[in-house]
Structure 1
Amino acid sequence: MREIRTFELEHSEPASAWRAAQPLAVNVLAGELWLTVEGDAEDYWLAAGESFELKRGAVAWLSGGRDGVRLSLTVTGGVGDTVKVERRRAPRWTWMPRWLLTA
């Protein structure tokens, strides 16, 4: 069984920095997602139905488009893995759900 977590980001929310503790697929369920990965010169705009693979250890910045975004994170590594997102030092205005933080 795989764990899939769903998130919603409003347009007015600041960008969030997330570090993938394991390989993840970011799947856009509704709206638009702005995504950039540290070390990658490109910015990506993903629409509903599109996805992006994050390698283990990747640091990604995510933000919702004009109408916000609903997205899911799915582990792509192996069966029985769980989604873990590690805290990344980021500017003070970056938000991350407390339950996603690891020690």
Structure 2
Amino acid sequence: PAVPEDLSALVDKANNVRKHLSMFKKDNGAKYRLILINSRVHRLVRYFMKKNSCAPAVPEDLSALVDKANNVRKHLSMFKKDNGAKYRLILINSRVHRLVRY
């Protein structure tokens, strides 16, 4: 598939691909007819990133969950009796393990 040059430059410098991709679609969607074609655009970006070997080693959603779990762990090291945070940490860890399977 042909990749617009604007999109390739965006993917090369983007740390948060999903955020930058949605901004790209908002700004240039009519130009490239990308407004209603969500899954096609994401497939196109994944293909482009794999082809140019600039895909992140860890997927974006997984790294965000790991960061969130680390923040909760840090909070729990200061507030050991926070049962709500303990429960949330269990939920976050289960989401991480579910994502790792796929």
Report the TM-score when normalising by structure 1. 0.23
Report the TM-score when normalising by structure 2. 0.23
Rg comparison, structure with higher value = 2
Larger RCO, structures 1/2 (Cα 8 Å, 6+ apart): 1
More helix by share: 2
